[in-house]
Amino acid sequence: MYFLKRDPLYDSEKVYEIRRKDLKTNVPITNADMEKVEGIPIRNMRGMSPSIAKNGFCCMNLETGLQPEDFQKRPKIIDEYLPQLTQAVKASLGADRIQMYDFIVSLFPSPEQAQAQANLSQRRKRHPDFPIRHGNIDGDAQPASSVHIDETQEDAKRIMQKINPAEFSLLSKLRWQLLIAWHPLRGPGRDWPLAVCDARSVKVDADLQPCDLIHPKHISEEYKVHYAPEQKWYYLRDQMPNEVFLLLQADSEGSTGVPHCAFPNPESADTDSFRESFDVRLLVFYEN
């Protein structure tokens, strides 16, 4: 697991990361100095009952009947999967309105597909810079091993206003949360599973650094995370596709999101298939 080093530089210079290939500049792609931290206890959460309100994350069951290959078909995702997910999140959290604004499918072709389509075979290999890598500018599906929170509260507001220009004034007055729903597409998920940090163990002022992500058409903001021994980490051993993580990333009441990343699973074997996953960004609104 890779964390942002504690450096006095960040007292005067904001962390940034360039995620575009067309920018011709001598500026370094990032000023984020990451360090590998080993030996972090990551506990299996099976048998526990974490919640968004208490821990910043939870796990819900969602049986959809979709197969991994169905996630290659956008109509299947839009017309079948997302409505089921929306209803499940509403029921789980007691929300009044759910708005999906982005999703990412991380898929590798099967060995048979890779042999039949030689141009895809390279996608079954990890990127040469894996596991530490800045951005995803090449469009390949690599687990994120750098600890982060995907959105700050200010960036969540930017997203809300962008997709709801006419309703922003009204929606911004409601209680809202920005969540990620994440699950593996094949199970049991043993290759680089997702680790999540209990939000109660994170010291916001000491452990988090806002980071500008410079994309081709916009700038977003996430949090990089400094390591602290007090942080408490969890994962779901042998997570199955029907076991969906919900991770808080921003909250109108001021709560920061849940740090998370992939980690090298000591129980994983070379015969385990590469991690394939689906995650979707959700705006969740509560009227009362």
CA gap 98, 285 in Å, rounded: 6
Q: Determine the residue type at 207.
A: D
Short-list 218, 213, 155, 227, CA closest to 30: 213
Q: For residue 275, name the pLDDT band (cuts at 50, 70, 90).
A: confident
Q: For residue 136, name the pLDDT band (cuts at 50, 70, 90).
A: very low
As a whole number, mean pLDDT of residues 158-180 equals 96
Q: For residue 114, name the pLDDT band (cuts at 50, 70, 90).
A: very low
- Per residue in 246-259, pLDDT (tens digit) is 999 999 998 889 99
Q: For residue 197, name the pLDDT band (cuts at 50, 70, 90).
A: very high
Say which range, 79-93, 103-117, 182-196, 224-238, has the weakest mean pLDDT: 103-117
As a whole number, mean pLDDT of residues 113-123 equals 40
- What pLDDT is stored for residue 117 in this prediction? 40
Q: For residue 22, name the pLDDT band (cuts at 50, 70, 90).
A: confident
- What pLDDT is stored for residue 272 in this prediction? 81
Short-list 222, 272, 277, CA closest to 245: 277
As a whole number, mean pLDDT of residues 259-287 equals 90
Are 168 and 161 contacting, i.e. CB atoms less than 8 angstroms apart? yes
- What pLDDT is stored for residue 26 in this prediction? 80
Reported pTM:
0.87
As a whole number, mean pLDDT of residues 22-29 equals 80
Paired tokens of 204: 């916001």
State phi, psi for 195 to the nearest 5 degrees. -105, 140
Quick check: 109 pLDDT over 80?
no
Paired tokens of 173: 């007055």
- Per residue in 46-88, pLDDT (tens digit) is 999 999 999 999 999 999 989 999 998 999 999 999 999 999 9
